[in-house]
Structure 1
Amino acid sequence: MAGSTALETEAAPLERAPAIGRVSDPRRASWLVLVVFLAPALVIYLGLTAYPAFRTIFDSLFTIEGSERSYVGLANYRDLLGDETFWIAVRNTFVWAFVAPILDVATGLLLALALYAGIPFSRFFRVAWFTPVLLSYVVVAILWMWIYNYDWGVVNEGLRAAGLDALTRSWLGDPNTALAALIVTHAWKWAGFNMVVCLAAIHALPSEVLEAAELDNCGWGAKLRYVIVPMLRPTLLNLYVLAFIGKMKVFDLVWIMTGGGPLWATETVSTYVYKRAFNWNTFDLGYPSAIATVWFGVVCAAVIVLNRVFKSRDRLEY
């Protein structure tokens, strides 16, 4: 009897354990608990994101001058078709969105590979290459405006020192080079972020595969092309999509460095919306709302298409 009592006493906690687990399981939380935790985030999202988005779509159907508004239907959208500046801004933004991420991700990958290979002073370079990510766009813009300065900028001074005076130019004042100069500046700022992500992904690769490649006398170039890059493909594609989204709404760097000039050469959709809404004194918020609405749809559609195109059909198993 005493033995059976002891066994029952020991078994009692084991029987109660599942009940305790069910009570503490967050997936079985009551609606009151869910509301308490989700309500603050939902209120902020609805007030600062959802409502402004729907209000912008609603305002695009009106001509708004101060407190007066008149319904115009789809007239603002029809005006967009003949807006030459808008299409220039669309072209520049697409160049940003499709070309610049390739430079960003490729530069980050090269820096990560350099650190992975164990270059001298790797700890210093790890910090130095990541530092631009921590700088604000204002600091980065002013710094690179100095670098691109025609008279005493580092770029032109270096060309003059190398005897290439014919290549010196006003990099931000020339319509043929202004957009490329901004893309290089943006890549310099964000290469460190891509470097950190790529470096973490490289260190997460299975060592057995890399060791097998070395045993097969696979050179560094071949190992990079046939082993490392294919295994990093999901990471690189995710970085490209993130960079694509960021470039589709680029504003800060362009506004500070060129303001969309010269001759609309660096105008983006975001800067054009700002100018039409607040900078040109047109006193009509309906038309820029239509531009923002169209571009919102374009960004959403582009992200969906990219996710489908880049979706890996067969998973890579380590």
Structure 2
Amino acid sequence: MPDAISIRTAAKSGEAKASSRATLADPRRATRLVLAIFLGPALLVYCGLTAYPAFRTIFDSFFTIEGMDATFVGLANYRELMGDETFWVAVRNTFIWSFVAPVIDVATGLLLALALYAGVPFARFLRVAWFTPVLLSYVVVAILWMWIYNYDWGVLNVMLRAVGLGDLASSWLGDPNLALGAVIVTHAWKWAGFNMVVCLAAIHSLPKEVLEASDLDNCGWGAKLRYIIIPMLRPTLLSLYILSFIGKMKVFDLVWIMTQGGPLWATETVSTYVYKRAFNWNTFDLGYPSAIATVWFLVVCAAVIILNRVLGSRERLEY
């Protein structure tokens, strides 16, 4: 029979091993060396590819940069920016994108999710078909919709002429009054599937007891959607709207491929204008576009904070 000292020694040894394993498993108890090993590579990549370019852009905004020569000009770039009419046109277009397009994106995704949840025919096929545009690159989407919008042989105008509405056929990307809306529709088509998947997952996570109780009370789909589903999906819809808002504030690739900001600045965004001033206008000055990027970075941060404060619910919904 082991004596009491041996039992206590074995118990202490087991406790020490358990404590060591808990220390390794709990990141709050990890040593600085372990944290440095795991966080170091990610921090280096972040600082090199995100933090440094951002701070360098802010720094360059106070200079006139021509080649390797930089001349300090203080706030001159920002004063010039305030009187730049093209910049304000780009701001207006970007705000239209950022506030209107996310509503279309999220609403379309929610409607598609509700259709699948209700069990429409061919639901499995439609789920794949509606999500497929998300997997396509912006280049493919832009070229596809440029064909659709073509005035002579585009699918949209051909369909309008076929049903006797030829007067509505237009040069969708060539008309300054229609170009921005046409590009927004294209962007909504691409991202509706992503919002659909998120909304569908959120709907399936809703408590079945509440939905079954509404069915027992003979609650119609309209009332159920308005008073039950949408209020309970509010945090998800808000998150999707904010994510879409941030993406729209930085939109560049789709606009550049389809219109390059034209016609007559009708689809110009801040991102495309920064690119033009930096690389496309042969002005050889990186200071002024850096000032535009800095101002817009602050605008995006402020807008996201305001949206979270205004749209965020202080009441926590539990179910």
TM-score, with normalisation over the residues of structure 2?
0.95
Partner of 1:195: 196
- Structure 1 CA distance for aligned equivalents of residues 208 and 7 of structure 2: 49
What's the offset of the Cα at 1:7? 8.5
Aligned match of 2:173? 172
Rounded Cα–Cα distance in structure 1 between residues aligned with 2:77 and 2:159: 49
Secondary structure, aligned partner of 1:38? helix
Q: Give the secondary-structure state (helix, strand or coil) at the position aligned to 1:232.
A: helix
Percent identical residues = 78
Query: Which amino acid in structure 2 is aligned with residue 296 of structure 1?
Result: F
Q: Deviations over 1:135-163 (max 9, x none)?
A: 00000000000000000111111110111
Unaligned runs of 5+ in 2: none
Q: Which moved more, 1:217-226 or 1:239-248?
A: 217-226
In the alignment, which residue of structure 2 is the partner of 1:23?
23
| Further displaced range: 158-167 or 12-21 | 12-21
Aligned to 1:155: 156
What is the match of residue 127 of structure 2? 126
The CA distance in 2 between the partners of 1:71 and 1:23, in whole Å, is 53
Q: After alignment, is 61-70 or 191-200 more displaced?
A: 61-70
Other structure's SS at 1:63 match: strand
Correspondence for 1:280: 281
Change (3 A) 1:219 1:4: farther
Greater mean alpha carbon deviation, residues 219-228 or residues 243-252 = 219-228
Distance in 1 separating the partners of 2:54 and 2:224:
47
Partner of 1:50: 51
Question: Residue 9 of structure 1: CA displacement?
Answer: 9.6
Alignment of 1:13-92 (within 5 A): 15=15, 19-24=19-24, 25-92=26-93
Task: Note the aligned Cα RMSD (angstroms).
Answer: 1.8
User: Per-residue deviation at 1:221?
Assistant: 1.2
Instruction: Look up the SS of the partner of 2:70 in the other structure.
Output: strand
TM-score, length basis structure 1: 0.96
CA distance in 1, matches of 2:34, 2:28: 11
Shift of 1:20: 4.1
User: Which range moved further: 33-42 or 11-20?
Assistant: 11-20
SS of equivalent residue, structure 2 residue 152: coil
The whole-number CA distance in structure 2 between the counterparts of 1:95 and 1:196 is 25
The code of the aligned residue for 1:36 comes to: I
Q: Distance in 1 between matches of 2:15 and 2:269?
A: 65
SS at match of 1:175: coil
Aligned residue for 1:151, secondary structure, equals coil
Q: Which runs of 4+ in 1 moved over 3 A?
A: 1-18
What is the CA–CA distance in structure 2 between the aligned matches of 1:14 and 1:228, rounded to whole Å?
52
Is 1:183 equivalent to 2:178 in the alignment?
no
The residue type equivalent to 1:202 in the other structure is I
Match of 1:271 in 2: 272
